[in-house]
């Protein structure tokens, strides 16, 4: 199964979240840079950071090495994390939004709708089971299809290869986690707090950029309070 890719556009994402039942108190907002002055302009609290970045051979090799290192050395992963394996091509934007919201339901009061239903039905499942359930979540798929076609750029065909990828960064149980359904597991990036989350997540984003220093095609959006 393949979906039309979602554009990294806060306006599109906010319509998407609203249709999924997320109250407008919480909005996706552009993060214009990672230095302290620009981070200070992002409204608080920030619940999640979404990074859109280009995929290349260097990134693919890094992922293989990272996966092998974690499997060898191990890592601590909180059992409170809501994690979904991605089984749908080009669905990484929706995956990042789901990971961002589902791991913050202590602060986000979801209205009745497709996302609340998905979270409740998959509560006792593992990541693979949640991925299988998302394959059958027609309501989420239909919302994705509708909103993916409303961005500023022309949407590619669902079967067309896409060389960009979304990941979500969230704070769960005192840890900073990178959630990417195409990886084997969540990635623990160390300790964080609600107060330092944005700055700590910015460090992870900066490392992505440092691994591909000649590329400027990085986009960051934050799920933050709509003050």
What is the predicted pLDDT for the residue at 114? 96
Its pTM stands at 0.94
The residues annotated with a catalytic role in the active site are 92, 165
> Residue 52 phi/psi, 5° resolution?
-105, 125
Residue 21, pLDDT > 80, answer yes
Cβ–Cβ under 8 Å, residues 180 and 49: no
Q: Got the DSSP string for 83-149? A: -----SBT-HHHHHHHHHHHTTTTT--PPSSHHHHHHHHTTT--HHHHHHHHHT-HHHHHHHHHHHT
Describe the strand order of the beta sheet including 46-54 as a list of residue ranges: 26-31, 219-225, 46-54, 164-172, 175-179, 187-191
Task: Please state the φ and ψ torsions of residue 135, each to the nearest 5 degrees.
Answer: -60, -30
Q: For residue 186, what is the DSSP state? A: -
Q: Could you tell me the domains of the chain?
A: 10-225 (3.40.532.10)
Question: Using N-to-C axis directions, what is the helix angle for 138-148 and 114-121, rounded to 10°?
Answer: 140
Q: What pLDDT is recorded for position 63? A: 96
Give the model's confidence band at 159: pLDDT under 50 very low, under 70 low, under 90 confident, else very high.
low
Q: What's the pLDDT score for residue 153?
A: 47
Q: Does the pLDDT of residue 158 top 50, yes or no? A: no
Q: How confident is the model over 65-114, as pLDDT tens digits?
A: 999 999 999 999 999 999 999 999 999 999 999 999 999 999 999 999 99
């Amino acid at each position: 199964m393949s979906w039309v890719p979602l554009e990294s556009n806060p306006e599109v994402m906010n319509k998407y979240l609203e249709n999924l039942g997320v109250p407008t108190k919480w909005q996706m907002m552009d993060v214009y840079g990672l230095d302290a002055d620009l981070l200070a302009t992002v409204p608080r609290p920030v619940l999640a950071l979404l990074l859109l970045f280009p995929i290349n051979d260097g990134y693919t090799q890094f992922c293989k090495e990272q996966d092998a290192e974690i499997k060898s050395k191990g890592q601590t992963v909180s059992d409170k994390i809501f994690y979904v394996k991605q089984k749908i091509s080009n669905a990484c934007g929706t995956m990042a939004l789901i990971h961002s919201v589902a791991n913050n339901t202590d602060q986000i009061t979801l209205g009745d709708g497709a996302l609340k239903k998905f979270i409740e039905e998959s509560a006792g499942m593992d990541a693979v089971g949640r991925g299988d359930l998302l394959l059958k979540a027609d309501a989420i798929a239909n919302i994705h299809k509708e909103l993916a076609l409303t961005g500023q750029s022309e949407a590619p065909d669902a079967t067309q290869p896409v060389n960009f990828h979304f990941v979500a960064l969230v704070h769960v149980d005192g840890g900073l986690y990178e959630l990417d359904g195409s990886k084997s597991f969540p990635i623990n990036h160390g300790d964080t707090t609600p107060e330092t989350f944005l700055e700590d997540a910015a460090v992870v984003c900066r490392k992505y950029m440092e691994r591909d220093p000649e590329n400027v095609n990085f986009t960051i959006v934050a799920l933050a309070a709509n003050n």
